[in-house]
Amino acid sequence: MSIGKRLVWILLALAGALAMGVIATSRGEPINAVWLIVAAGCLYALGYRFYSRFIAYRILELNDRRATPAERLEDGRDFVLTNKWVVFGHHFAAIAGPGPLIGPILAAQFGYLPGTLWIVIGGVLGGAVQDFVTLFCSLRRNGKSLGQMAKDEISELGGYAALFGVLFIIIIVIAVVALVVVNALKSSPWGVFTIAATIPIALLMGIYLRNIRPGRVLEASLLGFLLVMGAVIGGRAVAASALLAPYFTYGAPALAWMIIAYGFAASVLPVWLLLAPRDYLSTFVKLGTILLLALGILAAHPQMLLPPLTRFTDGTGPIFAGKIFPFCFITIACGAISGFHSLIASGTTPKLLRKESQARLVGYGGMLMESFVAVMAMVAASVLPPGVYFAVNSPAGVVGVAPEKAAATISAWGFPVTAQQMTQLARQIGEQTLFNRTGGAPSLAVGMAHIFSRVLGSGALEAIWYHFAIMFEALFILTLLDAGTRAGRFLLQDLLGHFWKPLGRTSWYPSAVLSSALIVGAWGYFLYQGVIDPLGGINSLWPLFGISNQLLATIALSVCTTILLKMGKARWSWVTLAPLAWLVAVTMTASVEKIGHPDPRIGFLAHARLLSGRIATQSIPAAQVVETQRLIFNDRLDAALTAVFAALVLVIVIESARHCWLYALRRKEPSLHEAPAELSRISA
C-alpha cells in the first residue's frame, strides 16, 4: 500500500475514533446526527477494507481461478453468471426488510448509545462475517441451503434443527411485523385507505405484467408508484370525509383479522397476480426511500434529542421490559446480526456470482449497507423529543389510555410531554391520536416526516411525508408477509409430503390451501395474541422474534465454524466462533429470563402466575375472566416456544462442538462436502 493510501486510512481511522468518542462521551447536551453517520461510515470502511479482506484471503482463500457454481452449472434459470452490482442489488433488496428499521426504534428506549454501538460493532464483527462466510460456504457447495449444509457438515440432527428453526422464525417474524402494521394503522383512515389501495394497484400491475406487457417490470412499477402516490395524497381527503372515513377506520382486532384474511388470499392466489407485483413495487419504494432518508439526514443534520442513555437501562422500559444485556441485542437483530440473512446468502445469491472474490462485496458489503440503514433508523428515532418518542411507543397497559394520564406518567419519568403537544402533533400529521402506537413504525414515520419536511422547508407537507413513510413501511412489511407465508407454505408442504406424498406436491390445490391455512393460522394466532395483549404485544412478541432470529444465526455460525475447522483453519476459527459465543450467551440469557424471570413484565410464567392469582382472588371482573385465561394460556405457550428455541440452540451448538472435538482428537476424519474444484474459463 502506498504512503498516500496509508495516510487516507489513518485519517479515516482517526475520524471514526473521534466520532465514536463524541458519541460515547457526550452527556447532558444533544449531539448532531452527523457524528453517528461519520462514526458508522468510517468503521464500515475500515471493516470492509481490512477485516473482510483478511477473512477473504487469509482465512477463506477466495480463488478467482476456481469456477463458481454459476459458471459450472449455468442453466439460464437458477445458475446465471451475473454482474456483481446486479447481484449486490438483488442481495441487498432481499436482506433489507423492516427489521433494521424497527429494531433500533424499539431499542432507542435505552437511549441511542447502546443500540448504535451494537449496530456498528455487531455489524462489522458479527453480521457481515456471518453473511460473508455463509455465502462462501454455499458458493463452494453449488449454492446449497443452510439446512442442507447443516445436515452435510454437522449432522442430520443439525439439519432438522435448521429446518424447524426456519419454520419457527417465519411464523414469528410474520406475526410481529403484522402487529407493527396493525398498530400503525389502527384508527387511521388515511393509512388504511393508502394500504388498502395498494391491493388493487398490485392486482392491476399483475395483469399488466402478465397479459399486457409480459415482464416489463420497470413500466409496471412506475405505473404502480404513481398510483400509490395518488393514494397517499388522496388519503387526506378520505380521512377528512365524514362519509368515507368510517369505512376506513378500524380498531386493532378488526385490522388483525383483515391482515390474516389477506395473508391467506396472497398465499393461495397465483404468485403473478398479487405477490410479485407488490414485491416489485415495494422494492423500488423501499430502496428509494432509504436513499432519500440518507440524503435527508445529511442535508438536515438534525440534533439528536434522545439522551445517549435513559433511565430504562435498569430494565423497566415501557416498550419492552428487560436490561440492555441481553434485550438490546435481541431487539436489534437485523442491522447488527440476523440469522435470516443466512437463508438468502445460501439461497439465490451464490448461484449468481461470477467470481469467488465477489462474495466479499455482496456478503460482507451488503450487510454493512443494511447496518447503515439501522443507524439511520436510530437517528430518525433520536431526533424526536424523548417525551414524544415514549408517548408514541408506550402501550396503554403501561401509561394508561387517557392522554392526560399518559402524558403525566411519561413526564414523571423525566421526559416532558403534554397531551396538547401530542394532539397538536397528531393534527399536524393528519392523525386522530399518536398515543399507544407501540411497534416502532409510527415513531419512525414521525421522525422521517420531521427530517424530510425540515429539508424541504415546509411543515405543511409533514402529513403527506408521515403517510408516505407509513405506506413505505406497511408496503414492504406486507410483502414480507406474502413472501414469508408462501415460503413457509412450501416448507410445510415439504414436511407434510413425508407423511402423505400428495401433500408434498406444491401444485396440488388442496394441499396448497391446507398448508397455507396452517401457516396463516400459526402466525395469525400470535398476531391476535399480540393485538389483545394489554402490554401492547411487542413486549412479548419482539423478544420471541429476536430469539428465533438469533437461533438461526447460531445455526449459521455453527455451520461456518465447523467448516472452517474442517478446512484446517482452526487457528482462525475465532472469526465465527466469537460472534457465535456472544449469540449463544445472548440467546440463552434472554430465553431463561423470558421464561423464568420473577418480574411479570419480563418472565412469561411470572406474568401467567400474576394473572392466575388475580383470578383466584377475584380481583378481575367476571366478564374478563375468560379473556384473562386466554392471556395465561398465551403466556405459557410463549414460554414453551422460547424453551423450544433455546433447546434448538443447544442442540445445534452441542452437535457442532461434538463433531469439532472429534476432529481435534483425530477420532473422526473431517470430510468437506465441497463441490470439486474446476478451473474458471472467465478472465478476471
Partner 1 sequence: MPSISVLLHRLWHYLREICGENDYARCCAQASARGEEPPTPETFYLAELRRKYSNPTRCC
| Candidates 48-56, 86-94, 324-332, 399-407; binding stretch for partner 1 (CB under 8 A) | 86-94
Q: Which of 59, 150, 391, 480 is the binder for partner 1 (CB under 8 A)? A: 480
Q: Distance (Å, rounded) from C-alpha 553 to C-alpha 586?
A: 12
| Candidates 74-82, 532-540, 573-581, 673-681; binding stretch for partner 1 (CB under 8 A) | 74-82
266 touches partner 1 (CB under 8 A): no
How is residue 504 annotated by DSSP? G
94 touches partner 1 (CB under 8 A): yes
Tell me whether residue 302 or residue 335 sits nearer to partner 1 (CB atom): 335
Q: What does the angle CA 677 – CA 578 – CA 366 come to, to the nearest 5 degrees?
A: 60
Grid coordinates in use for 643? Answer: 424453551
90 touches partner 1 (CB under 8 A): yes
490 touches partner 1 (CB under 8 A): yes
139 touches partner 1 (CB under 8 A): no
From residue 136, alpha-carbon distances to 45, 140, 334, 674 in Å are 21, 6, 20, 11
Tell me whether residue 444 or residue 564 sits nearer to partner 1 (CB atom): 444
373 touches partner 1 (CB under 8 A): no
How is residue 353 annotated by DSSP? B
* In the complex, minimum distance from the CB of residue 293 to partner 1, in angstroms, rounded to a whole number: 19
Asked if residues 580 and 557 have their Cβ atoms less than 8 Å apart, the reply is yes
Q: Which of 112, 168, 250, 280 is the binder for partner 1 (CB under 8 A)? A: 280
From residue 463, alpha-carbon distances to 232, 242, 309, 445 in Å are 10, 19, 30, 10
435 touches partner 1 (CB under 8 A): no
506 touches partner 1 (CB under 8 A): yes
| Candidates 65-73, 154-162, 212-220, 430-438; binding stretch for partner 1 (CB under 8 A) | 212-220
* In the complex, minimum distance from the CB of residue 99 to partner 1, in angstroms, rounded to a whole number: 4
Residue 473: burial class (beta carbons within 10 Å; 0-12, 13-18, 19+): buried
Query: What residues contact 38, with CB distance under 8 A and at least 6 apart?
Result: 15, 16, 19
Asked if residues 46 and 317 have their Cβ atoms less than 8 Å apart, the reply is no
Hey, is 239 helix, strand or coil?
A: helix
| Candidates 36-44, 162-170, 406-414, 667-675; binding stretch for partner 1 (CB under 8 A) | 162-170
Q: Which of 78, 314, 404, 627 is the binder for partner 1 (CB under 8 A)? A: 78
Amino acid at 276: A
Grid coordinates in use for 211? Answer: 397479459
98 touches partner 1 (CB under 8 A): yes
Grid coordinates in use for 591? Answer: 430465553
Mark 272-308 as b/e (b = at least 16 C-beta within 10 Å). Answer: ebbbbbbbbbbbbbbeebbebbbebbeebbbebbbbb
| Candidates 270-278, 443-451, 497-505, 579-587; binding stretch for partner 1 (CB under 8 A) | 270-278
Q: Is the dihedral of CA 159, 164, 167, 169 positive or negative?
A: negative
Tell me whether residue 217 or residue 265 sits nearer to partner 1 (CB atom): 217
340 touches partner 1 (CB under 8 A): yes
* In the complex, minimum distance from the CB of residue 333 to partner 1, in angstroms, rounded to a whole number: 8
* In the complex, minimum distance from the CB of residue 225 to partner 1, in angstroms, rounded to a whole number: 13
Tell me whether residue 77 or residue 498 sits nearer to partner 1 (CB atom): 77
Q: Distance (Å, rounded) from C-alpha 228 to C-alpha 259?
A: 19
86 touches partner 1 (CB under 8 A): yes
Grid coordinates in use for 63? Answer: 480463488
Q: Which of 38, 106, 192, 276 is the binder for partner 1 (CB under 8 A)? A: 276
Hey, is 370 helix, strand or coil?
A: helix
Asked if residues 428 and 464 have their Cβ atoms less than 8 Å apart, the reply is no
Query: Contacts with partner 1 in 547-566 (CB under 8 A)?
Result: 549
Query: Contacts with partner 1 in 181-210 (CB under 8 A)?
Result: 209-210
Tell me whether residue 450 or residue 489 sits nearer to partner 1 (CB atom): 489
From residue 516, alpha-carbon distances to 167, 169, 344, 502 in Å are 13, 16, 22, 15
Q: Which of 13, 34, 271, 657 is the binder for partner 1 (CB under 8 A)? A: 271
| Candidates 43-51, 85-93, 372-380, 630-638; binding stretch for partner 1 (CB under 8 A) | 85-93
| Closest C-alpha among 368, 358, 367 to residue 556 | 367
From residue 59, alpha-carbon distances to 129, 133, 548 in Å are 12, 10, 29
* In the complex, minimum distance from the CB of residue 89 to partner 1, in angstroms, rounded to a whole number: 5
Tell me whether residue 66 or residue 90 sits nearer to partner 1 (CB atom): 90
Q: Distance (Å, rounded) from C-alpha 139 to C-alpha 362?
A: 12
Tell me whether residue 62 or residue 333 sits nearer to partner 1 (CB atom): 333
Q: Which of 139, 149, 162, 275 is the binder for partner 1 (CB under 8 A)? A: 275
542 touches partner 1 (CB under 8 A): no
Amino acid at 76: G
| Total residues binding partner 1 (CB under 8 A) | 57
Other beta carbons within 10 angstroms of residue 114's beta carbon come to 22
334 touches partner 1 (CB under 8 A): yes
Tell me whether residue 57 or residue 85 sits nearer to partner 1 (CB atom): 85
* In the complex, minimum distance from the CB of residue 332 to partner 1, in angstroms, rounded to a whole number: 12
| Candidates 109-117, 157-165, 242-250, 274-282; binding stretch for partner 1 (CB under 8 A) | 274-282
| Candidates 3-11, 84-92, 118-126, 223-231; binding stretch for partner 1 (CB under 8 A) | 84-92
CA–centroid distance for 118 within its chain? 15
Name the packing angle between helices 156-185 and 146-153 (round to 10°): 150
* In the complex, minimum distance from the CB of residue 173 to partner 1, in angstroms, rounded to a whole number: 4
Residue 412: burial class (beta carbons within 10 Å; 0-12, 13-18, 19+): exposed
Helices (H), 497-598: 509-532, 538-566, 574-596
Q: Which of 1, 3, 218, 679 is the binder for partner 1 (CB under 8 A)? A: 218
Query: What residues contact 661, with CB distance under 8 A and at least 6 apart?
Result: none
- 146: enclosing H helix or E strand: helix 146-153
Tell me whether residue 173 or residue 567 sits nearer to partner 1 (CB atom): 173
Q: Which of 216, 501, 658, 668 is the binder for partner 1 (CB under 8 A)? A: 216
Asked if residues 462 and 453 have their Cβ atoms less than 8 Å apart, the reply is yes
450 touches partner 1 (CB under 8 A): no
177 touches partner 1 (CB under 8 A): yes
338 touches partner 1 (CB under 8 A): yes
Q: Distance (Å, rounded) from C-alpha 230 to C-alpha 224?
A: 10
* In the complex, minimum distance from the CB of residue 480 to partner 1, in angstroms, rounded to a whole number: 5
Grid coordinates in use for 402? Answer: 387517557
487 touches partner 1 (CB under 8 A): yes
Q: Which of 173, 328, 352, 503 is the binder for partner 1 (CB under 8 A)? A: 173
Q: Which residues are at the interface with partner 1 (CB under 8 A)?
A: 76-78, 80, 82-83, 85-86, 89-90, 94-99, 145, 166, 169-170, 173, 177, 209-211, 214-218, 221, 271-272, 275-276, 279-280, 333-334, 338, 340-341, 343-344, 347-348, 476, 479-480, 483-484, 486-487, 490, 506, 545, 549
